[in-house]
Structure 1
């Protein structure tokens, strides 16, 4: 999407001898670049995870960790293979993915719509922002007893709980981006004679995209966190249900398998959103980019 925001700003040239010397030598630039986010080795962000696994394995081998409270890594892997071979893990994963995807989709659509209406109209802001801020102050999981009274304990209740958490994240981040457009762009649009519709399409919406994507990343993480709780309420299948059943039988290896799957799906979904964000906002010049 072409926008005023993507236009590169003009940089005044250095005319002094000292400025030319600094520009030529690059001495002033190198220290700043050291502060930037450089590309490291492939999968370098997994270094901390691998270190944690190494400490866990060493503690299990040395007998410092009680296997009844925390199973060894190899035991968890064996349990995961057994659950996959019997098809149990796939069944629970499919149920969890379905709930998370439906709740996430509803939450994104509703939250984004409310943010656009409140961010672009005064009447919308007056009617919508207050209730959303009130909901923000109330923990989503704190609404479980009330929603059970209203909706029962079926699938609808679980999806609504997930969607409510997503709505708040999407609204807050998108609304903040919509209402934080630099006033200089407003003045530039007036100078260029842009209509309101063109200004919204070329300036406001592109400017709100970083907040929109941040809302997506926070929402997808929140959806997984909420899912594990709601699946413990009258669920027949799902990773959360599998883990609660394992708790009753003292099966820490099964619980760890469930946590590992949650973590993997959380990291993958966040990585996908970050990739889409980089491709969609390639016009932005940022420290990380």
Structure 2
């Protein structure tokens, strides 16, 4: 992997990881159009590390409050709004972890192809636009209970299918369950932290078992570029989500899906 390729792929990963679009849908295009080989497991780990650094830093105060409140609820029995949110993040993370352990090999063998990618990008993009249009915000993030957490968690598990978009499907379900755009996005970002850490850790384990680490310079660039672009993306998205809504992203996904279909079928 040369430096330019590392910069482009890391920037794509950072920009699309947290938006309700498909990061895998974007990564397949430069590979198909420019003839690039798969970036490899080491680079995958690197950009996951960068994305995780970005979201942790952006929500560092929230993370500190949630971890502290959760610890107090466990060791001292003190229940607060923050401890409730922390527990719901844990509950919503479990389905994706379980699904990943059970179905990762099946998904890699049977669902990681262009037609699946284009179809899921299109279908879940349309559903995102519908959810934004018909949603009736009447809950805040503090109101998330066990039922909502489980439903959003099951949606996150579905995002293991390429093209679904983890942030897209979790925001979609949260909107349909009555959360406003900002709270739906915030809960989705909270969920991203443990799931990105788990995915990155799983890939790192595979990497260590394979005995290959890759070249250090592209990996370092991957971490840096994905971290910077992901942080900028989160900052922009959280500042604009209430005003722009999800329709632009839904339209964008439809266009992206058509491009992927064209590339796959050509």
Give the TM-score of the pair, scaled to structure 2. Answer: 0.35
Asked which structure has the greater CA Rg, the reply is 1
Higher relative contact order (CA 8 A, sep 6+): 2
Give the TM-score of the pair, scaled to structure 1. Answer: 0.33
